[in-house]
Amino acid sequence: MPNDPSERTPAPGTSQRPAEARRVVVPRRGPMLVDGPVEVELEDGTVASSDRFRVALCTCRLSERYPWCDTSHRRRR
């Protein structure tokens, strides 16, 4: 039951999330936020890694530091 809310949120009284569940924040606009450390396998087979506490993954594909967000998604005036 992948959509069962009990599998997505910790049970009451537990102090932390299950070790295997990592929550990813996916906003409508802007980068996807993932708790680090992460390894990102790119199309050409290379792996980008970061041990930051959280990483911002580019979703607009405009980043010059892809796969990491460099705020290139922002509106310009």
Nearest distance, CB of residue 47 and other proteins, angstroms? 16
20 binds other proteins (CB under 8 A): no
CA-based end-to-end distance of the chain = 46
Touching other proteins, residues 41-60 (CB under 8 A):
50-56
H or E element: which one contains 10? Answer: none
75 binds other proteins (CB under 8 A): yes
Cα–Cα dist 17/30, whole Å: 25
71 binds other proteins (CB under 8 A): yes
Tokens of 25: 């924040």
31 binds other proteins (CB under 8 A): yes
Q: Are 33 and 24 in contact (CB under 8 A)?
A: yes
Q: Given the complex with other proteins, which of 4 and 29 has the nearer CB atom?
A: 29
